[in-house]
A and B are shown apart, each in its own frame.
Chain A
C-alpha cells in the first residue's frame, strides 16, 4: 500500500505538515476558521520531531500487524480491508489510551475536542494525496509504495 514517508535530509522543521493536517481535519477546512473559530482546535495527527538541525515528521505507519488494533478494547481501530489503512471509529472510541500505550511510533494523539477520543492519521481519504504531503514545500514528505 501507499504510505507516507519522510526524507529527513530535506525537512527543515517548518511544521506546515502539522498546520495542513489540522486544516484538513477541521470542520470548515479553512485555515483561518480552523485556527481561530473551532474551539478546541483540532489536533495535528502528525508530529514533527526536532533536535538541532535534524527534523522530520512522524505519523501512523499503518502497520501490517498493528499493535493498536490488538490493544483497542472498544473495537474502534480496524484495518480497512480495501486500502490497508488503519482506521479509527470516533463513535466507538472511549479514550482508554491503550493505543497510546502500544503505538511504536507515538503516532496516536489525544484529541481535545470535548469528547476524549484518540486521533490519528487517516491518510486523508477525501484527497488524492494526504494534506501533509501535498503542502510540504521541500517534498520532504512523499506518498508512495515501497
Chain B
C-alpha cells in the first residue's frame, strides 16, 4: 500500500509517474483539505476573479478514478508510527502503509505580531484563505500586506484589481529580494508605485490595532496606517508538524537523498516539505516552487514502486507577473563576491532588463524583466551546465537562440 500525505503538485507527480509503470499498486491520498487536487498558485487569480472555481482544479474530475487512487480528503494526519508502518488520523483511524510519501507542503510563516488574532487578519496560502479574503475585500477599502515577496505581491495585485488600496510592508530594502536582483526589484517597485500601490521597505508591522477587528497597523518605527484588513504573506516554511516522534530526519525540511528517500527507507518526501539536493551548489535546500515539487514527487513515486529514478537536483526559479509586468528569474540572481561575470542589458523605453550570471563560462543565473520571451533556452543552459564560451556575447540579444550555438550542439538538440 502506497500512502501519500498531501494532495498537490508532488502528490500528482508521484501518482502520474507510478501509473506510467504500474496500474495495480494501491495508492491512497490523504489530505486535510476537502478539495480534489487544485492549483494553489492560482489562489491569487481566484481572489481577483480571473479564475472561477472549475478552473481551479489542476486535473480532470476523473483524475483519481482513472488513476485508480483512493482518496481520503478532509482528513488530518496527526502522526506517523514508522515502526508499525501506520499513519494516524485525527479521528483515531490508522492507515497501514508499505511505502509512504510525505508531501505535506508548506505552511505560512507567521511571526509573532501583537494583535494578529484579530478579525480581518489573513494568511494567503490555501483556497479557503482566498475565499475568506475575497469576502473581506468586498467591503474593505485599505489593506496592509506584510511581505513583498511573491505571495505578498500576488495578493497585492489581486486586491488592487478589486479596488482595495494596498500598502506593502517589506522587511528587506526591496520587494522580491529573494528572487530578483537589485535592478529588477527597483523596476518592479516603480511599476507598482505607478499602479498606485504604496510600498514601505526596511520596516515591519509591530502591532495590529483595533479592539476585535482590524482598524490599522503600527509599524516598528511607530508609523500608523489605517486599514480594514491585514494579509500576512511573508512566505512558507516546510509543514513538518505531523512527523512528531517518527524519527524522520529533519533540518529545515525533511532531509531526502536523491531518490527522495528519508533516513527511514520506506518513507519518502517531496515538494515544499522536502530538503533535497540543489542543482548548482549540490547542497540540501528547500525550494518551495511548483515545478520542483512535481519533479520530486515524480522521482519519489518512481522509486517507491522500485523503478529507479535519480533526482537531478532542483533549481530555484520564478515567473512572476504583477499588474502586467512579467519577470523571470532563475538560479543565482545575486552572485556573492568572487569569480562571477555578470552581463546586463537595460532598455528604459521598454522597461526591459536582462541579466545573466556566469562562472567559468557556465551560466549560473538569469533575470528577465518585461522581455521574457524564450527565457527557457537560458534556463536549459543553466540546468545542463553548458559551457557557453563560444556564444556568451550573444546571450542577451533579443534574437538569442540556437542559431548562435555551435552546429554540433544545435543539431543534437533540435534533431532529437
Contacts and interface: CB of A to CB of B under 8 A. Distances in A.
Interface string A86-113: 0000011011111111111110111000
Given A56-B414, A73-B41, A94-B45, A106 B319 contact: no
A98 B291 contact: yes
Interface in B340-390: 372-377, 379-380
Contacts of A55: 403
24 contacts: A49-B402, A51-B403, A51-B404, A55-B403, A56-B402, A58-B401, A70-B294, A73-B58, A74-B42, A75-B59, A91-B55, A94-B42, A94-B51, A96-B41, A97-B326, A101-B328, A101-B375, A101-B376, A101-B379, A103-B374, A103-B376, A103-B377, A104-B379, A105-B413
A37 interface: no
A29 B319 CA distance: 33
A85 B41 CA distance: 26
A71 interface: yes
B278 interface: no
A49 B403 CA distance: 6
A74 B416 contact: no
Given A94-B42, A101-B375, A101-B379, A106 B401 contact: yes
Most buried by A among B375, B404, B411, B414: B414
A15 interface: no
Ordered nearest first, which 5 A-B pairs have the shortest CB separation? A106-B374, A104-B380, A103-B376, A49-B403, A71-B291
B295 interface: yes
Nearest to B297: A70
A105 B58 contact: no
B35 to A, nearest CB: 14
Contacts of A49: 399, 401-403
B290 A109 contact: no
Contacts of A108: 376
A75 B40 CA distance: 11
Given A61-B416, A98-B291, A50 B403 contact: yes
A47 interface: yes
Nearest to A109: B373
A56 B317 contact: no
A146 B415 CA distance: 9
A73 B39 contact: yes
A5 interface: yes
Interface in B118-140: none
Q: Give the size range of A's interface with the partner.
A: 35 or more
Interface of A: 5-6, 8, 47, 49-51, 54-56, 58, 61, 67, 70-71, 73-75, 91-92, 94-106, 108-110, 146
Interface residues of B, number: 44
A102 B55 CA distance: 23
A95 B50 CA distance: 11
A5 B328 contact: no
B326 to A, nearest CB: 6
Contacts of B64: none
B377 A105 contact: yes
B311 interface: no
Contact of B376 (A54, A74, A91, A100): A100
Contacts of B319: 96-98, 100-101
Interface in B288-303: 290-291, 294-295, 298
A3 to B, nearest CB: 9
A73 B42 CA distance: 8
A35 B187 CA distance: 35
B373 A100 contact: yes
A73 B37 CA distance: 12
B377 to A, nearest CB: 5
A58 to B, nearest CB: 6
Given A56-B414, A71-B290, A95 B321 contact: yes
B403 A106 contact: no
B42 A106 contact: no
Contacts of A73: 9, 39-42, 58, 290
A106 B404 CA distance: 14
Contacts of A92: 55
Contact of A94 (B50, B59, B374): B50
A102 B402 contact: no
A101 B413 CA distance: 18
A10 B338 CA distance: 46
